Amino acid sequence: QVQLVESGGGLVRTGGSLRLSCAVSGHTASNYAMGWFRQAPGKEREFVAAISWVGGTTYYADSVKGRFTISRDNVKNTVYLEMNSLKPEDTAVYYCAADRSWGSRVQLATLTHYHSWGQGTQVTVSS
């Protein structure tokens, strides 16, 4: 079972930047899918970005494309989400997720694709 621990959230002004980290333990050499999702108050959890552990293929939600970058460090066993040009609508709890299998963009954007989740980290963007 993979364990995920997020960090790096906080309060930032509109236009600012944050980098979230997801420390991964219990990971195997298989091509895990690593995802970032977010959930704003009163809204459903939504897909943000995904990356393949082997190869580094990435997918992004249209709402963050060009502003957010997902990456992974295979040595540190950590996945990152670099967030730039932040907007108030980016305010949410951000969750890291993992699954043993890669998939299509549609599959990777689906909550049920992932079998492990972190506890979340709060990101607040003030206007």
Query: Mean pLDDT across the chain, nearest whole number?
Result: 94
How is 6-54 classified by DSSP, letter by letter?
Answer: EE--EEEETT--EEEEEEEES--SS--EEEEEEE-TTS--EEEEEEETT
Which parts of the chain register pLDDT below 70? 27-30
Specify whether the CB–CB gap between 83 and 68 falls below 8 A.
Answer: yes
Q: What is the percentage of the chain residues whose pLDDT exceeds 90? A: 85
- Say what the pLDDT of residue 29 is: 58
From CA 22, how far away is CA 60, in angstroms rounded? 17
- Say what the pLDDT of residue 74 is: 87
From CA 48, how far away is CA 50, in angstroms rounded? 7
Q: For 17-30, what is each residue's pLDDT tens digit?
A: 999 999 999 866 56
